Amino acid sequence: MLIGIAARRGAVLLATLGLGTLLGCGSATEAPESAEPGMSPAGDMRNSEAELYVASARLWRPMSVSVCWENPGAGDATQRQWVRDAVARTWEARSGIRLNGWGTCAAGAMGIRINISDVGPHAKGLGNTLNGVAAGVVLNFTFNNWGQSCQNRRQYCIEALAVHEFGHVLGYAHEQNRQDTPGSCTEPPQGSNGDLTIGPWDLSSVMNYCNPQWNGDGNLSATDQQGVQQTYGVPWVSMGGNLTSAPTVAARGTNRLDVFARGADNQLWQRYWDGAWSTWGSLGGISLSSAPVAVSRDAVTIDVFALASDNTIQRKSWTGTAWTSWSSLGGNFTSGPTVASWGSNRMDLFVRGPDNKLWQSYWTGSVWSPWGALDGTLASEPAAVSWGANRIDVFARGTDNSIIQKYWNGTTWSGWSSLGGSFVSSPTVASRGATLLDVFARSADNSLWINTWNGASWSGWTWLGGELASAPGAVSKASGHLDVFYTAAGGEVRQASYRNGW
């Protein structure tokens, strides 16, 4: 189901996901090995009311969707929780879609409206065409009239059917409709075709009638997971908060993350992870005029920098036992700073000056150098990282809204070069190891993009989804690990984690 995101994103996000067959769209959803006499396992599903044509307009944007029950009963709370849990551990756990509510439908409720009825489970459409549709999704909890063999395995059937039907909710058609369906799959196409296939035909998908495991046993295949990420982005977790700036993050080893952002009071706020997340807490002090930036240069210390209201750069440090007061590093700047460190006695601080050039001040263990101008014409705050001694990579948004790069190789600065793209925020950058770089930025549709340097070449920009209201922040706390953060429109910070895969 994999496709090139950059070529697919934009106004044409169409999703005939190569997601495999699923038996249960308004039909007898019996497992193949226990189908009722005289009935094909998929036979009744051919009466499904679901439309099977998938177009970009049917994917949910924004990616927060309300779900409600039209006729919940006092005796079916357990079954309703099975449905919610099954969807959460599959589609939600593997993507950026967020399904909210799950209470009783109010009059005229929009979103996904689920009706409980002893008929073949089905969806009346695909994706956002179900928005506010009465009985848009129908699920069976009793199996007295339909699918009677499910009575002895009720939870299994309810969960597997829910996963399939919510595939339709997200906008995915049946796999056997694809033109590359092999002759070994004898289930006929159902409904209209989509206009985008994601990767090769997938026998194991939960959307494939030819899947030998009925409804995929309610589990997404590997390509299901890749496909839902390519249409709804990587999964994000809310960290709460009421923040007004982009977040920044520092890693003090593999078991410590410290996230900082400016609060609604313009003060510095912090939340940290040491195996479990703390609550947000204010560090007080001066009024910040920019997002903060942070770096950890050893296993103990943290240094935080920000632009103050007088346009100077201010520093606050954690010594291992206490926070220092804010102290001024001077200057007269027009953006927030960024910082990189290649060792315990080295920090390099960068900022955009009033001339829109890149400016630098560095610390060698005891004193800060004077501020000095480098070059360039920056349209955003810079971002910087060091992946080894005497190496610094600096990025910024250029005047054409592309991301531009400049690096120090230990003896000289390179010129600026472009990574392309079109963005509305400053970038952020993290390094997972020597010669490795991951650059992130926010596009005009408020989604996150990544471009990876593998030591020899850039990957090109890839869409990661999200609903950003700020520039991103990122860090690598171990080889193969990335933690990415952004502030959403409501002021909450959200996190996505990469562990050799999202």
> Which strands, in side-by-side order, build the sheet including 403-408?
383-388, 391-397, 403-408, 417-418
pLDDT in tens, 168-178: 999 998 888 88
208 touches 23 (CB < 8 A): no
> 3-state DSSP call for residue 351?
strand
For the chain, the average pLDDT equals 88
User: Is 211:174 a contact under the CB 8 Å cutoff?
Assistant: no
What is the model's pLDDT at position 232?
95
Burial of 317 (0-12, 13-18, 19+ CB in 10 A): middle
Other Cβ atoms less than 10 A from the Cβ of 377: the count is 14
Percent helix, strand and coil across the chain, each to the nearest 5: 15, 30, 50
Res 179: pLDDT: 84
Query: How many CA atoms lie less than 13 Å away from 96 in the CB half-sphere?
Result: 25
- pLDDT at res. 276: 96
Residue 3 has pLDDT above 70, yes or no: no
Q: pLDDT class for 20, splitting at 50, 70, 90?
A: very low
Dump pLDDT digits (tens) for 285-299: 999 999 999 999 999
Candidates 236, 230, 192, 156; CA nearest to 492 is: 236
Task: Quote the pLDDT of residue 32.
Answer: 29
What does the pLDDT read at residue 38? 26
Q: Which residues contact 452 (CB under 8 A, 6 or more apart)?
A: 436, 437, 438, 439, 458, 459, 462
439-451 residue pLDDT tens: 999 999 999 999 9
pLDDT at 31: 32
Domains contained in the chain, CATH given: 5-232 (3.40.390.10), 237-499 (2.120.10.70)
Question: What's residue 33's pLDDT?
Answer: 26
- pLDDT score of 8 more than 70: no
The residue type found at 379 is A
Percent with pLDDT over 90 in the chain: 80
pLDDT tens-place string over residues 24-49: 564 333 332 222 222 222 333 233 33
What is the spatial distance between Cα 441 and Cα 222, in angstroms, rounded to a whole number?
27
pLDDT of residue 377: 97
- Per-residue pLDDT tens over the stretch 146-160: 999 999 999 999 999
139 pLDDT more than 70: yes
Per-residue pLDDT band at 192 (split at 50, 70, 90): low
Three-state DSSP class for residue 366: coil
Q: What is the pLDDT of residue 333?
A: 96
Give 414-466 as a DSSP string: ---EE-----SS--EEEEEETTEEEEEEE-TTS-EEEEEE-SS-B---EEEE-
Q: How far apart are CA 339 and CA 250, in angstroms?
A: 11
Range scoring the smallest mean pLDDT among 9-23, 107-121, 287-301, 359-373 = 9-23
Stretch (H or E) spanning 385: strand 383-388
State yes or no: pLDDT of 166 exceeds 80: yes
Listed range (211-225, 313-327, 382-396) with the worst mean pLDDT: 211-225
- Does 135 or 57 have the greater pLDDT score? 135
Instruction: State the pLDDT at residue 173.
Output: 87
Confidence of residue 309 (pLDDT cuts 50, 70, 90): very high
Least confident stretch, 181-190, 262-271, 439-448: 181-190
CB atoms within 10 A of CB 323: 16
Query: Which pLDDT tens digit goes with each residue over 416-444?
Result: 999 999 999 999 999 999 999 999 999 99
Which of 183-197, 236-250, 312-326 shows the lowest per-residue confidence on average (mean pLDDT)?
A: 183-197
Average pLDDT rounded to a whole number, residues 94-119: 97
325-382 pLDDT tens trace: 999 999 999 899 999 999 999 999 999 999 999 999 999 999 999 999 999 999 999 9
Query: Residue 221 above 70 pLDDT?
Result: yes
Report pLDDT for 49: 39
Pairwise pLDDT comparison (209 vs 425), residue with the higher score: 425
Q: What is the pLDDT of residue 57?
A: 75
Mean pLDDT of all residues in 220-225: 92
Return the structure tokens found at 204. Answer: 């194991």
Q: Which residue has the higher pLDDT, 81 or 175?
A: 81
Residue in the structure block whose two tokens are 């989804």: 465
pLDDT of residue 143 exceeding 60: yes
pLDDT at 28: 33
Mean pLDDT value of segment 73-88: 98
